[in-house]
Amino acid sequence: MIIDLPSSNTSAVNRKLVELRESGGVFALGRVLTLVVVTEDGREMERAVEAANQASREHPCRVIVLARGQRRAAPRLDAQIRVGGDAGASEVVVLRGYGPLAEESAGAGMVMPLLLPDAPVVAWWPGEAPANPSQDAIGKLAQRRITDALASKNPTKAFEQRRKDHVAGDTDLTWTRLTHWRAQLAAALDVPPYEDVTSAVVAGEAISPSTELIAGWLASALGVKVKRSPSEKNQGLALVRLVRASGPVEISRPDGKTATLIQPGQPDRLIALSRRDVADCLSEELRRLDPDEVYHEALNGISSVSRGRTPVKV
């Protein structure tokens, strides 16, 4: 069910939510958090709402979407409430601000009256995020701030900014996309022979924040020299090779979908390692609201990674 509230205000939205709750359509007490999505109006917003709806089936929440409208327009707030089949296991409140209300500084004032009481707040920028999320007006309201450098117009610049301005509570979906890679590498080292890794090679697309991040993670976790090289194919993260005395442990993914795990003394194995979708990554990020120390260490480890210019064949 979708309820439109054109030329409205947050008080009217709140009254409508209370009315829906009292009529049995919405049970706000069952929500575990408030997810604030900051995005542009249009197709990007609908994709973000769909991802939030899917994530809400694991984490019932109130989703507040700040969809910035035309800045060259008269001041107006168009609201929309989505519940039931149009909102997954959540209740979605879409706020479209026009004119001065489309400015980032106005977003926090519209969001605050709609936050669930005594529930944590998570802010998510599915597209272009502020340079320093923790200092943004919406970011200051949140215990957890989720960005996505890969969705930015300049992923390299955005990722460098994340590294520079990182504070506890910040995270990025480039890190979440590496969960399966990290799990496979950890499992491969957890079987005989139990040998130390002496060095590592990481290869991937020239512009790939995830490739940079896994190189930093290996450098910080293993304390060894890590070389980051380009790959011959532009498929994001393509190869990780851990060098040991008995032979290398290698995971190569030339097509972005299926990877080959190579270990000394064992037959090569094919493993499903396709790129994760946004909804899956968002669900994982909402499972924890405490600071991610390992992510912070991986960011710091990037500074010790060496660079190779010769493309690596995968």
Question: What average pLDDT does range 157-168 have in this prediction?
Answer: 92
Average pLDDT, integer, range 258-282: 94
* Predicted pLDDT at 73: 80
Across 216-246, b (16+ Cβ under 10 Å) vs e yields: bbbbbbbeeebbbbbbebebbbbbbbbbbee
pLDDT attached to residue 23: 77
| Total-model pTM | 0.92
- For residues 193 and 271, membership in a common domain is answered with yes
pLDDT at res. 262: 95
Residue 314, domain member (yes or no)? no
Q: What's 299's domain CATH number?
A: 3.30.360.10
**pLDDT tier at 24, thresholds 50, 70, 90:** low
32/305 Cα distance (integer angstroms): 40
117 and 243 co-located in one domain:
no
- What integer is the mean pLDDT of 168-189? 95
pLDDT at 49: 94
One domain, residues 129 and 183: no
Residue 115 and residue 188 in one domain: no
Quote the pLDDT of residue 313: 85
* pLDDT, position 273: 93
Residue 12 is assigned to a structural domain of this protein: yes
197 & 141 share domain: no
6 and 127 belong to one structural domain:
yes
Q: Are 296 and 246 in a shared domain?
A: yes
User: Looking at per-residue confidence, does 286 or 73 come out higher?
Assistant: 286
- Residue-wise pLDDT for 225-261, tens only, equals 999 999 987 778 999 999 999 999 999 999 889 999 9
Per-residue pLDDT tens over the stretch 28-66: 556 889 999 999 888 889 999 999 999 998 888 999 999
Burial of 124-142, coded b for 16+ CB within 10 Å and e otherwise, reads bbbbbbbebbbebbbbebb
Domain co-membership, 206 together with 303: yes
Tell me what pLDDT residue 90 has: 79
Residue 75 lies in a domain: yes
Number of structural domains the chain divides into: 2
What confidence tens digit (pLDDT) does each residue in 94-126 have? 999 888 887 777 789 999 999 988 899 999 999
78 is a domain residue: yes
Question: 91-98 and 61-68: which strand pairing?
Answer: parallel
Q: What pLDDT sits at residue 296?
A: 95
Residues 88 and 192 in one domain: no
Q: Same domain, yes or no, for 135 and 188?
A: no
Please say if the pLDDT value at position 201 is more than 80: yes
131: containing domain: 2-147
Mean pLDDT score of the chain: 91
Among residues 46, 117, 55, 107, which one has the least CA distance to residue 82? 46
